[in-house]
Amino acid sequence: MKRIFIITTMLIMMFSVGTAHAELYFDYEAINIYSEYPLIYIDNPNYQKNYDKKIPPASYEVNGKTYIWSDKQTNTHALLYSDTAYNTLSRENYQGYREYDCDVIWTGEYYMVRNARYDKESSGYWQYIKSPIQFYDSEFNLVREQTFDGFPYKIEFYNNTYYCKYYGSGTQKSDAVAHIMASTDTVNWVDITDEEELMAEKVGNVLRKAGNYTRKASIDGDNFYDLSYEDGMGYVSASRFGEWICYMDFDNQQILFSKDGIYTVPVKSAKDLNLRNGESFSIEYIYEYGDELIVDTTKYRITIEKESLYTELEELNSPYLVYNGSILAFETPPVIENGTTLIPIRFLFGQMGAEVDWEQDTRTATISKDGTVITFTIDNTTAMVNGEPAEMTLPAQLINDKTMVPVRFLSEELGYTVDWDGDNRIITIE
């Protein structure tokens, strides 16, 4: 497998730090996901004609943690493995082996459990499936159940509130209408469909809402901001593995991995994916196998050197930047060095309406806005503001081919105010 691993290490200061991405690559081979088993499947001791030759394992590994294996893994929350959890929540199927197909969230008081067995059925069928949401205590004793008038498709817990999105009856037989329910005690539920356009999902410490025309995120759990992605993508859905997520970027032939749904670690294809115009494929399973992370899709089996990827994800701890009511999701996340935050120049200042010019021979950038002209050179702390020298706390740097500049210095020179919320690691520019 082709691997290129280049790490630029930055000094860790204050509450957070960003680092330059290593260049990571994946290899792949064509598979038929409908006839080939995931590599970690085991031999079926009861194999006979018309029965599966291999069966799913009870667990799988991601980054040193063991989770219960689920065929619905990429659409559900991961649950840490224990014999009690597995034996309580799995079921014996017609072939005599146990299957786990639940979506489970630990809320600090209860395990909130959803039956995910029918997730891949058509939405028109969902209105006829009224499986309950179950609540178990820490020892997996069933405390209570809550049944809605339809199929529970998504669950979440945040701000001390339980949420469930279910699909109920529509005006036509084939319709299934989404409803969002909320409760603070698991007993009394309120329909908040009209109040909430989309139900948030929790990715790491970030709450994220995504729909066909909506991208919002909350860092502090209360205030939602629009999400503006530098790459223009802004994924709607993602595949979960362990506590992280990933999604395909077909235009650039890469997989983007994230632990917060905002900043990503790109893993590029080492060779052309040979996709026809507009062709795509979906992720089915993600798991470790030896030294590799395996991503089984409906077209390819993708392999990634796992430790390099895990290192990049764990070190991805950049601050968030809010400008004009939006969180800016930079392709190369901000970096904090010696207490100064460096951000990619074009995305932010383009949002401000400034002109950004780059002179390659001298490695000099010029920002112009409303009569203010700022010029600076890579690795030089002296900038020129309207022809007068001004000292920056750090020089501009090139990281991942992006020009990174001190955000406070340039923003304030252009007339903006910059605030730092250390608790939530948020930079706000107004």
The proportion of the chain whose per-residue pLDDT surpasses 70, expressed as a percent, equals: 91
**pLDDT (0 to 100) of residue 233:** 65
Beta strand 239-241 with 225-229 is unpaired
Up-side HSE of residue 114: CA atoms within 13 Å toward CB? Answer: 28
Q: Which residue has the tokens 């539920």?
A: 189
The secondary structure of 15-40 as a DSSP string is: TBB--PPP-EEEEEEE--TTTS--TT
List pLDDT tens digits, range 169-199. 764 445 678 899 999 999 999 999 987 777 8
Q: How far is CA 76 from the centre of its chain?
A: 13
Q: Which residue has the tokens 């893994």?
A: 73
More confident residue, 62 or 222: 62
List pLDDT tens digits, range 317-342. 999 999 999 999 999 999 999 899 99
Question: 3-class SS at 103?
Answer: strand
Q: What is the mean pLDDT of residues 149-168?
A: 92
List pLDDT tens digits, range 98-124. 899 999 999 999 999 999 988 877 666
Q: List strand residue ranges (DSSP E) for 54-110, in order.
A: 54-55, 59-62, 65-68, 91-92, 98-99, 102-106
Question: 3-class SS at 159?
Answer: coil
Cα–Cα distance between 170 and 152 in angstroms, integer? Answer: 15
Cα–Cα distance between 84 and 99 in angstroms, integer? Answer: 14
φ, ψ (nearest 5 deg) of residue 219: -90, -40
- Compute the mean pLDDT over every residue in the chain, rounded to the nearest whole number: 88
Q: Is the pLDDT of residue 13 over 60?
A: no
Q: Is the pLDDT of residue 212 over 50?
A: yes
Question: 3-class SS at 377?
Answer: strand
Q: Is the pLDDT of residue 293 over 80?
A: yes
Q: pTM score, two decimals?
A: 0.88
List pLDDT tens digits, range 35-80. 889 999 999 887 876 677 889 999 999 999 999 999 888 889 999 9
Q: What is the mean pLDDT of residues 213-228?
A: 89
Structure confidence at residue 426 as a pLDDT band (50, 70, 90) = very high
**pLDDT (0 to 100) of residue 198:** 79
The separation between the first and the last C-alpha atoms of the chain, rounded to the nearest angstrom, is 47
**pLDDT (0 to 100) of residue 177:** 84
Q: What is the mean pLDDT of residues 397-402?
A: 88
- In the sheet with 239-241, reading across from the earlier edge strand, the strands are 239-241, 244-249, 254-258, 265-269, 24-30, 300-305, 292-297, 283-289
